[in-house]
Amino acid sequence: MKIVQMLCPSSKYNIKCPYSMEAEGICIHNTANDAPAVNEIKYMISNNKETSFHFAVDDIQAVQGLPLDRNGWHASDGGNGRGNRKTIAIEICYSKSGGDRWLKALDNAAELTAELLIDHGWDISKVSKHQDYGNHKHCPHRILDEYGWDNFLNLIKSKMGKSTETETKTDEAVSSGKTVVTLAREVIAGRWGNGAQRKANLTAAGYDYAEIQGAVNDICAGKSVADKVATCTKSTTSTPTPAPTPAQPATPAKKSNDEIAKEVMAGKWGNGADRKARLEAAGYDYAAVQNIVNGLAGKSTQTTTPAKKSNEAIAREVIAGKWGNGNQRKQRLTAAGYNYAAIQRLVNRMI
């Protein structure tokens, strides 16, 4: 997503963004006119009205007008309202006339929103609309009237690489003919739980737990997996027979936690939520492995939860020089379980 910065000068902070902010979500608006994003931001910055917002998005790009660590006046819920004080405001352009330009702007806004959610470690529940706050203004008007709010949320989810359909672990899922690899990747993505819960969910849905877990182990180990339609152990007739007790799966943890921690340090297990999902899918204790990683990175091994701060808080620490520079910064952030690319994007937007 192309983002151009045209930030409000600090001399106007007292009008446009007087308070520091650690954002807790995103608020979506429609501009109700037909100006491009650059013009929207220029006008917002140049006038002396309090109305302000963080991004304007058109069919070409997103333009940032406020730093993400300053509040905006956009949600009509007063000086202490959550909308104004805790959300990142995105204005979608060309909503007065609609048409192809607006639809492209809408698509770009969904992409920007998805990127912000990923960067902050948020899920779709963190996306709200102007209508949710203050005087409940009918905004974003064209999304509400024409496109549909739920459709917009689904568009964002698709940009995040997530399915827009609800995952159901029932006979319907069994009869859908999913393959072993498809189910294994769903397990790795965390959709079937962990440990005993995962086994119970897969078995209840009629799948052979040992078969699926074996594929998970092979994928996490970098081995090729022969794909086939997953074995269905549950009848799809109106009177299903009990599923047989699945065979015990192969022990997923082939290496010691110390060995896995060294592989984590080498970048072989990803970062953040992806790392956690992959380690747990392979049968490892994420907290125990991360503890060792923290120790190798020079941190106390007594810490059981390595990532206690938001990405935005870490970005501020980076700006303050607490995480070093260049490759050293990247190595330290990665070792501590943070997504370096996401943190660096936030840093770039704040400075």
pLDDT tens column, 16-48: 999 999 999 999 999 999 999 999 999 999 999
φ, ψ of residue 316 in degrees (nearest 5)? -65, -40
Beta bridge partners of residue 92, listed in sequence order: 30, 57
Q: Do residues 118 and 59 touch, judged by C-beta distance below 8 A? A: no
- 49-100 tens-digit pLDDT: 999 999 999 999 999 999 999 999 999 999 999 999 999 999 999 999 999 9
Cβ contacts of residue 341 below 8 Å, gap of 6+?
Answer: none
**pTM of the complete model beyond 0.75:** no
Bridge partners, residue 41, by sequence? none
What is the rounded CA–CA span in Å between residue 171 and residue 240? 9
Residue 288 pLDDT class (50, 70, 90 cuts): confident
Q: Strands 62-64 and 55-57, how do they pair?
A: antiparallel
> Which pair of tokens denotes residue 181?
């690899």
- Model confidence pLDDT, tens digit, residues 100-149: 999 999 999 999 999 999 888 899 999 999 999 998 999 999 999 999 99
Domains and CATH numbers, the chain: 3-159 (3.40.80.10), 168-252 (no CATH), 257-350 (no CATH)
